[in-house]
């Protein structure tokens, strides 16, 4: 059965009254999460997971993914109206979005952002539709060495291609692997790193860690920055909306280029934030003469928004097909799937096709719903942002602690939420990336088990990771991604330092 037929079956799963209601609810919740600084998509999704335990897995993942798209849209709203990025990936949108809104063109800026975001998201979902079957068939050839090579590739790509310092990325990855190893060893049965706390025998829940890192941590950073909301007019004029929509085809090259950048950065561990900045920079270099960027150029809104949403959509492909999340939010969703008893990877496509294609179909619908809802609710969320942060902040703290407690009903988890909140705050202040920590915590057990199995198969020889063309090529690619980007950067610095004759 072809991908198109499977997608049609997926629409049959997704288009039910229950799932449509969940999409609308998820997008609205995501808009709240994206609008309020201090929450963010990873934390919002992690807070919702305990509430989805009463739902079937298909309904639960549709709700979570819809919330993710809504959070991306919500971050654009605050970036344009208040010059405050609700999401890290919305930072680049502030450069031209806020100046355009400040110049009295808020409807035009918002429409450019939301329509570009919708185009980027649908482009990303189309890529998932075309490649999902091929990626899962290819992954069926994998054994333990190949899976470990893929996990190593994910870690290496974060180190080599990430925007943060490689040393800081290694520290973040290492901390995640340490947290994943707390509790009982799956192979030997030995207890590790519990330090006498019986509450840690079962390990540390990644949900508790994520709530602390992204919820309390981001909130502490926001408080220190002395956040104040100063917005511009947020009325939506329908005539301006349609006029701006007619203007969009003029920037087709920027949209297509930015969408392709987002697709690449979504499939690899670059992520939406890196995609938006890269797309903005390339758009600035490729632009024709006119008003400088940073003064309200349409391309300065279209480029980051298209790349942001296409990257956010495509991050789902490696998570579903290979079991390797390429963003923090995808890692949280993958943890949710494992809690529900589903193992992301090629067998998921074979054993649960209704689940996978129902999710992919829902991504088309929920992104269209997101564009419509965000245009309808901009005035409401702008009014929400005018509530003093002294009121919103404690509400976010309460939500985080309630979410942390509902994971297992243990008061010890509340202390862990607070502890990881401080860790998240320190990481943010010291520019340590959080996504590698979440990724390595989710993949830690899987990577360790794959390594154990590989060593058993090879009698302890590392040559097993180069024992056939498939695993050897993956390991070679991982080593290349680990080393080559930094060598090229070093070479560029050396060339710049050479004296000009």
**pLDDT tens-digit readout, 235-275:** 666 777 788 888 888 888 889 999 998 887 777 655 676 67
Distance CA 20, CA 7 (A): 17
Helix/strand/coil (H/E/C) assignment for every residue in 206-233: HHHHHHHHHHHHHHHHHHHCCCCCCCCC
Residue 306's pLDDT is 92
pLDDT in tens, 407-416: 677 888 889 8
501 assigned to some structural domain: no
Q: Are 36 and 86 in contact (CB under 8 A)?
A: yes
388 assigned to some structural domain: yes
Total domains, the chain = 1
Return the higher-pLDDT residue of 85 and 105.
Answer: 105
Mean pLDDT score of the chain: 79
Phi, psi of 192, rounded to the nearest 5 degrees: -130, 135
Return the higher-pLDDT residue of 500 and 63.
Answer: 63
148 assigned to some structural domain: yes
Of the candidates 406, 59, 341, 64, the one whose C-alpha atom is nearest the C-alpha of residue 207 is 406
Mean pLDDT computed over 331-342: 78
Q: Are 138 and 430 in contact (CB under 8 A)?
A: no
Distance CA 428, CA 431 (A): 5
Range of the domain at 13: 2-495
Percentage of residues in the chain with pLDDT exceeding 90?
Answer: 2
80 assigned to some structural domain: yes
Residue 87's pLDDT is 64
Q: Are 236 and 102 in contact (CB under 8 A)?
A: no
Mean pLDDT computed over 113-134: 85
459: Cβ contacts below 8 Å, ≥ 6 apart: none
500 assigned to some structural domain: no
405 assigned to some structural domain: yes
Distance CA 378, CA 329 (A): 24
Is the pLDDT assigned to residue 129 strictly greater than 80?
A: yes
């Amino acid at each position: 059965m072809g991908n198109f037929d499977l997608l049609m079956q997926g629409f049959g799963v997704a288009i039910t009254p229950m799932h449509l209601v969940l999409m609308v609810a998820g997008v609205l919740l995501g808009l709240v999460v994206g609008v309020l600084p201090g929450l963010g998509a990873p934390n919002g999704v992690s807070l919702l997971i305990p509430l989805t335990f009463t739902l079937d897995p298909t309904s639960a993942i549709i709700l979570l993914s819809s919330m993710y798209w809504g959070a991306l849209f919500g971050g654009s709203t605050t970036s344009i109206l208040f010059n405050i990025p609700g999401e890290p990936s919305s930072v680049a949108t502030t450069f031209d979005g806020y100046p355009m809104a400040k110049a009295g063109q808020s409807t035009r800026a918002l429409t450019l952002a939301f329509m570009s975001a919708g185009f980027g998201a649908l482009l990303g979902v189309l890529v998932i539709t075309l490649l999902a079957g091929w990626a899962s068939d290819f992954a069926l050839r994998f054994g333990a060495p190949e899976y470990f090579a893929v996990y190593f590739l994910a870690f290496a790509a974060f180190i080599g291609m990430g925007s943060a310092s490689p040393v800081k990325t290694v520290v973040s990855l290492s901390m995640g692997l340490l947290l994943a190893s707390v509790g009982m060893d799956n192979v030997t049965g030995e207890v590790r790193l519990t330090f006498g706390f019986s509450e840690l025998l079962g390990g540390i829940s990644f949900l508790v860690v994520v709530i602390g890192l992204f919820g309390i941590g981001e909130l502490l950073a926001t408080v220190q920055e002395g956040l104040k909301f100063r917005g511009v007019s947020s009325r939506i004029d329908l005539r301006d909306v349609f006029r701006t929509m007619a203007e969009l085809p003029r920037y087709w090259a920027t949209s297509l280029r930015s969408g392709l950048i987002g697709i690449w950065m979504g499939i690899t561990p670059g992520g939406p934030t890196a995609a938006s900045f890269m797309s903005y920079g390339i758009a600035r270099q490729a632009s024709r003469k006119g008003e400088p960027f940073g003064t309200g150029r349409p391309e300065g809104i279209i480029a980051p928004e298209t790349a942001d949403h296409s990257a956010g959509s495509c991050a789902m492909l490696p998570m579903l097909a290979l079991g390797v999340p390429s963003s923090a939010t995808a890692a949280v969703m993958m943890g949710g799937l494992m809690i529900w008893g589903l193992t992301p990877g090629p067998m998921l496509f074979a054993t649960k096709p209704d689940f996978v294609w129902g999710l992919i179909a829902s991504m088309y619908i929920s992104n269209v719903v997101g564009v419509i809802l965000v245009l309808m609710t901009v005035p409401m969320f702008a009014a929400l942002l005018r509530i003093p942060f002294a009121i919103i902040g404690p509400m976010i703290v309460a939500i985080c602690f309630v979410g942390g407690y509902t994971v297992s009903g243990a008061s010890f988890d509340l202390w862990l939420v607070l502890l990881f909140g401080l860790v998240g705050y320190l990481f943010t202040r010291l520019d340590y990336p959080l996504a590698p920590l979440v990724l390595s915590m989710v993949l830690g057990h899987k990577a360790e088990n794959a390594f154990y199995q590989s060593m058993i198969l090879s009698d302890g020889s590392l040559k097993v990771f180069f024992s056939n063309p498939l695993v050897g090529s993956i390991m070679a690619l991982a080593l290349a991604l680990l080393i080559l980007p930094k060598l090229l950067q070093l070479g560029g610095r050396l060339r710049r330092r050479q004296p000009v004759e």
